[in-house]
Structure formats: structure tokens, C-alpha cells
Chains A and B, each alone.
Chain A
Amino acid sequence: GNSVTQMEGPVTLSEEAFLTINCTYTATGYPSLFWYVQYPGEGLQLLLKATKADDKGSNKGFEATYRKETTSFHLEKGSVQVSDSAVYFCALTRNTGGFKTIFGAGTRLFVKA
């Protein structure tokens, strides 16, 4: 079946540190991959996406590359800010039928000033 596994949190970093949140997936076919971010008490917001192998998604300084050979989609940012503190979800969408999306368990990030 399809699944998404991401590193457990919480991840605690100092401001301006480098961020990596690992994500691997299992899927049949060729899914699209996404990172979503959730701030406290809110719904999820799409952060970035990649729809095919070797695509790099990027937004607000965050990046992730769709690696089919390692079935991974790791999230990176070169210099985090306090405002990046949130929960990050890796997700895959099967490009068939109802375009259902499967989410990882989420990784909470704390950034200290």
C-alpha cells in the first residue's frame, strides 16, 4: 500500500541553523509529493510540491527534491527563523481516482531565538 514516513520530532534548532526533515514514501505508480505546514490552531497550508522524479519544489527558502531512486522527499532550509516554528507534514497524492492524499505523522519544529 501507499505510506509516508517522516522523522519524529520535536526538532529544536537555534535561529539561522540548517534544517533537514527526512521523509520517505512507499507508493504504487507515480505519486505527487508535497510538504504542508501547520501553525498552532490552524489548518494545513501547502508549502511546496513536486510532481515527478527529480523535480525540486521550493518556497519561502524551503526546498525538497523528489528522489525516486531513494523514494525520498526531504525538506531543507538553509537558515531557519523563529517564525518557522510549526508542524511540517510530508504527503503523497495518488494521481488517480479521487486524488486521495496520505500524510505522514508530522514533525514539530521549534526554533529558538
Chain B
Amino acid sequence: SQTIHQWPATLVQPVGSPLSLECTVEGTSNPNLYWYRQAAGRGLQLLFYSVGIGQISSEVPQNLSASRPQDRQFILSSKKLLLSDSGFYLCAYRDKRNYGYTFGSGTRLTVV
């Protein structure tokens, strides 16, 4: 079966520290992968998407970057976090069975 894992679930980081959030998918090959951010009480903002290994498209220029070193691994990074990077980060892949997205359980990041 297809599953998606995202970790850590929660993270508290000081301003200026680096960030690495990881997402892995099982049970499917060559998925489209996505990183979204959800600010408190608001909708979802697409940050990055990838259609294949090493292929990253950025939707919003900001303090974050993404990488896809393996087919089913998607990483969100930052060299120096800002307070405004706080939010709920969601990884997703496009499920070819139902055309929708399957989301991970999310990472709640608080920058202090």
C-alpha cells in the first residue's frame, strides 16, 4: 500500500539555526512530490514541487530550499531560520489512483 512519512512531528528552533525536514513515500514510484506551508488559521501555500529526482520547482522565493536526492525522498531545508518561517509544513504526493494528493501528518515548526 502507499504511505507517506514525514518527520519530525514538532520542532522548536532558534532564529538563525538550520532546518531539515524529511518526507518519504512508500508503495509508488516516480511520484510528484510537494511541500506546502500552512500558517495558523490560514490556507495552504505551495512552496516547492518535484516531478523527478533532482527536479525542483520553487513557487515562492524565500528563505527555504528543497531537494530530492532519491525518487521517494523530498527534503525541505533552510540555512538560517527566520521567525516568519514558523508554521505547519505538509508534504504530499500525487496519488495516481484518485488524482488527488495524499498528505503526510505534518511538521509544526516554531521559530523562537
Complexed CA–CA distance, A102 and B92 (Å): 13
Task: Across the interface, name the chain B residue whose C-beta is closest to A32.
Answer: B99
- Inter-chain contact B43/A43, CB cutoff 8 Å: no
Complexed CA–CA distance, A7 and B50 (Å): 31
If A89-B44, A103-B43 touch, whether A46 touches B49 (CB-CB below 8 Å) is no
Complexed CA–CA distance, A44 and B6 (Å): 13
Complexed CA–CA distance, A71 and B96 (Å): 25
* Inter-chain contacts of B51 with A (CB < 8 A): 97-98
Complexed CA–CA distance, A100 and B50 (Å): 10
If A98-B49, A100-B49, A103-B44 touch, whether A43 touches B106 (CB-CB below 8 Å) is yes
The interface size bin for chain B is: 20 to 34
- Inter-chain contact A101/B43, CB cutoff 8 Å: no
A-B contact number at CB 8 A? 58
18 extra A-B contacts, CB within 8 A, seeds A44-B92, A100-B46, A101-B101: A36-B100, A36-B101, A42-B105, A43-B90, A43-B105, A44-B44, A45-B103, A46-B102, A49-B100, A51-B99, A93-B100, A97-B51, A98-B57, A99-B94, A100-B59, A102-B46, A103-B43, A103-B44
Q: Which residues of B contact A (CB under 8 A)?
A: 6, 32, 34, 36, 42-44, 46, 49-51, 57, 59, 90, 92, 94-95, 98-106, 108
Q: Which residues of A contact B (CB under 8 A)?
A: 32, 34, 36, 41-46, 49, 51, 89, 93, 97-106
